[in-house]
Amino acid sequence: MKNTQCANSLFTYFLILLIFETLDNIVKFFRKKALKICDNQNLYYICSVVKQINTLTMNKSELIDAMAKDANITKVAAKAALESFMGNVTKTLKKKDGKVSLVGFGTFSVAQRAARQGINPSTKKPIKIAAKKVAKFKAGSELANAVNGGKK
């Protein structure tokens, strides 16, 4: 019973940390404090949850690290390449009818959203939402197949 309560309280604390903190701070907390209040088995379970959540998303710096490792280049070069890619996609999409197509990966494009009626959630009164352009991404066939469990 004690182990279950310990795991439940640690897991609850983990969820609170996840909302307000970065994963690095969560991992540091568990490494420093969790061993004092919980046995190794429950700590291992909590850390495996952290690891699973950490693999669900990739931020910019993690992408730069992965690019540098995969291409056997420095992180500085990988960062420059990523920033160049993002800048060129942005510059192209700003142009009239701008579109970036990467065969097999996907297509970045711009779509026009029409003006529409919305509801202010705090006052429940109708509001007008202006028309605007939005960036879109449509996955290519190879990416779609990879995501759906097919070959890469």
pLDDT, residue 39, reads 55
Query: What's the whole-number mean pLDDT along residues 34-46?
Result: 56
d(CA 138, CA 73): 29
Query: What's the whole-number mean pLDDT along residues 19-31?
Result: 60
pLDDT(1) > 50? no
Domain residue limits, the chain: 2-54, 58-94, 96-152
Query: What's the whole-number mean pLDDT along residues 26-46?
Result: 58
pLDDT(9) > 70? no
Q: CA 88 → CA 56, 73, 81, 94, distances in Å?
A: 27, 21, 10, 10
25 or 107: which leads in pLDDT: 107
At 136, give phi and psi (nearest 5°). -125, 155
pLDDT(63) > 80? yes
* Residues 10 and 38 sit within 8 Å (Cβ to Cβ): yes
pTM value? Answer: 0.59
Query: What's the whole-number mean pLDDT along residues 96-117?
Result: 93
Report the percentage of the chain scoring pLDDT > 70.
62
Query: What's the whole-number mean pLDDT along residues 126-136?
Result: 94
Structural fold of domain 96-152: HU Protein; Chain A (4.10.520)
Q: How many CB atoms lie within 10 A of CB 91?
A: 11
pLDDT, residue 18, reads 58
